[in-house]
């Protein structure tokens, strides 16, 4: 069984690529969705978060991830506190899915795969690289997010060069897939890289 981690900054096209692989009957997992599920269903996580961020509880007694996001992206100390709560649980999720998977290939997508040091868990890493201008346009056109919030998120995410240096220093297999043009060109690039992995 081969495993793939797909990463890149907000608006780079990671989710599109994960969906593209899913349509090819590849087992896929969106780690952002996994995190939101943990926030919603794991009572121990709720308890830990509410001790630090009491203002994020909603009227439905659930964690409001939008409020939580705005709080942590403006405060490094709060962000690190949140990471200590949620990241170990996501890491366990990845390992459990890898251990239980019977398929030939499995793929995970997440913006913080390298930042969280999960890249070592995968056989291959794809970094989806898109210019900030294109990413910003995609995000502002498709999501309920302000330009200020977009820039806060971008500034908290690892830069391409930082990812490359880290992966090369640790001898990880990785590919950079540029996504600054059209869908057809992106599909062709993904197909090519997928064939290389499956050789």
Q: Which residue has the tokens 């007694």?
A: 61
Q: Which residue has the tokens 């930042």?
A: 115
Q: What is the pLDDT of residue 122?
A: 97
Q: Is the pLDDT of residue 65 over 90?
A: no
Q: In angstroms, how far is CA 169 from the centroid of its own chain?
A: 21
- Whether the full predicted model's pTM is greater than 0.75, yes or no, is yes
Tokens of 80: 């690190």
Taking 3-state DSSP, the helix, strand and coil percentages for the chain, each rounded to the nearest 5, stand at 60, 15, 25
Per-residue confidence band for 102, with pLDDT thresholds at 50, 70 and 90: confident
Q: Which of 60-74, 108-122, 138-152 has the highest mean pLDDT?
A: 108-122
Q: Is the pLDDT of residue 117 over 70?
A: yes
CATH fold, domain 2-198, is Rossmann fold (3.40.50)
Q: What is the pLDDT of residue 199?
A: 62
Instruction: Tell me which residue of 187, 167, 162, 166 sits closest to 177, measured CA to CA.
Output: 187
CA atoms within 13 A on the CB side of 151: 4
Q: Helix or strand or coil: residue 182?
A: coil
Q: What is the pLDDT of residue 153?
A: 85
């Amino acid at each position: 069984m081969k495993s793939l981690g797909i990463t890149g900054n907000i608006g780079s096209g990671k989710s599109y690529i994960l969906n593209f692989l899913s349509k090819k009957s590849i087992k896929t997992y969106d780690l952002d969705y996994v995190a939101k599920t943990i926030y919603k269903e794991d009572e121990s996580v709720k308890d830990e978060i509410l001790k630090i961020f009491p203002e994020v509880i909603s009227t439905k007694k659930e964690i409001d991830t939008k409020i939580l996001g705005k709080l942590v992206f403006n405060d490094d100390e709060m962000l690190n506190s949140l990471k200590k709560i949620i990241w170990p649980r996501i890491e366990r999720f990845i390992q459990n899915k890898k251990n239980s998977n019977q398929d030939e290939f499995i793929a995970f997508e997440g913006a913080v795969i390298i930042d969280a040091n999960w890249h070592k868990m995968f056989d291959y890493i794809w970094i989806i690289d898109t210019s900030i201008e294109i990413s910003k346009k995609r995000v502002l056109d498709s999501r309920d997010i302000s330009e200020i919030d977009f820039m806060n998120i971008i500034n908290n995410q690892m830069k391409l060069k930082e990812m490359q240096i880290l992966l090369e220093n640790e001898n990880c297999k990785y590919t950079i897939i540029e996504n600054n043009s059209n869908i057809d060109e992106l599909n062709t690039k993904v197909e090519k890289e997928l064939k290389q992995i499956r050789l």
